[in-house]
């Protein structure tokens, strides 16, 4: 069995294939009657060889996927949201046996066709499309979506953008406004680079990273408090 596989195994990308290699500091070996033996007339030293063993679940591939690149609404326009510990879910108790989201007078901002995300529930977290905004207290989704769940969990339901697979000029990149502007700067930088305008490229890349940094800083909410002194001046 191999050890230190992070040091002794290597890979090579060849088109859409991954070729694996094993690093050894010896000559080639084989197993005969349960005993590993050295093969004669083989090179001895540091070399890469084809792996001579199978390791179950031994390869992990990490990658970034481009999911839903274009959506039909800007993130800033998605304001429908409900959060409470009195939200419940019904299995087949809506119209046409549809499943339901129930929250007394707290669902009025949602509309039929909205895509929503549920977090915090015991068994119904996920993304769903509202089939019918029946009232300000009931939202219906497709039958078979939910497991019956009573109130008690701290649940949040909020609107998310819906993917458009045939985007046009009226659609949006699936990013907030700040990152969308950053993408524009990045494209301008690449166009400038292709024209040999290096100073202009560097300018747009600085603007790109500035907007990316501003987007990250906008996520941090920091508050500073000071104890009140006995006097009016500090």
pLDDT at 41: 58
pLDDT at 91: 93
Would you tell me how many other CB atoms lie within 10 Å of the CB of residue 27?
Answer: 15
pLDDT at 5: 63
pLDDT band at 198 (very low <50, low <70, confident <90, very high): very high
Summary mean pLDDT of the chain: 84
pLDDT at 1: 52
C-alpha dist (Å) from residue 52 to 2, 27, 30, 130, 174: 10, 13, 9, 54, 45
What digits encode the pLDDT tens for the residues 108-125?
A: 899 999 999 999 999 999
CA 15 to mean position of chain CA atoms: 26
DSSP 8-state secondary structure symbol assigned to residue 228:
P
Stated pTM of the model: 0.58
What digits encode the pLDDT tens for the residues 25-55?
A: 766 666 667 776 666 655 556 777 777 777 7
Query: What is the architecture, at CATH level 2, of domain 70-160?
Result: Beta Barrel (2.40)
What is the C-alpha to C-alpha distance for residues 39 and 42, in angstroms, rounded to an integer? 6
């Amino acid at each position: 069995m191999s050890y230190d596989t992070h040091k002794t195994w290597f890979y090579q990308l060849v088109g859409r294939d991954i070729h694996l290699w094993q690093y050894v500091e010896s000559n080639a070996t084989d197993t005969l009657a349960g005993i590993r033996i050295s093969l004669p007339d083989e090179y001895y030293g540091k070399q890469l060889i084809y792996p001579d063993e199978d390791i179950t679940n031994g390869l992990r591939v990490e990658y970034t996927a481009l999911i839903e690149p274009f959506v039909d609404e800007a993130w800033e326009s998605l304001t429908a949201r409900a959060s409470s510990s009195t939200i419940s879910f019904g299995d087949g108790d809506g119209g046409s046996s549809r499943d339901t989201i129930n929250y007394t007078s707290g669902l009025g901002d949602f509309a039929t066709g909205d895509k929503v995300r549920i977090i915090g529930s015991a068994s119904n977290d996920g993304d769903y499309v509202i089939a019918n905004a029946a009232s300000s207290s009931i939202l219906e989704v497709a039958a078979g979506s939910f497991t019956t769940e009573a109130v008690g969990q701290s649940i949040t339901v909020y609107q998310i953008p819906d993917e458009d697979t045939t985007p046009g000029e009226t659609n949006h990149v699936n990013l907030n406004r700040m990152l969308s502007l950053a993408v524009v700067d990045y494209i301008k930088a690449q166009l400038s680079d292709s024209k040999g305008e290096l100073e202009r490229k560097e300018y747009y890349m600085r603007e790109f990273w500035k907007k990316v940094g501003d987007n990250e800083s906008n996520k941090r909410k920091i508050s500073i408090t000071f104890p009140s002194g006995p006097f009016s001046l500090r």
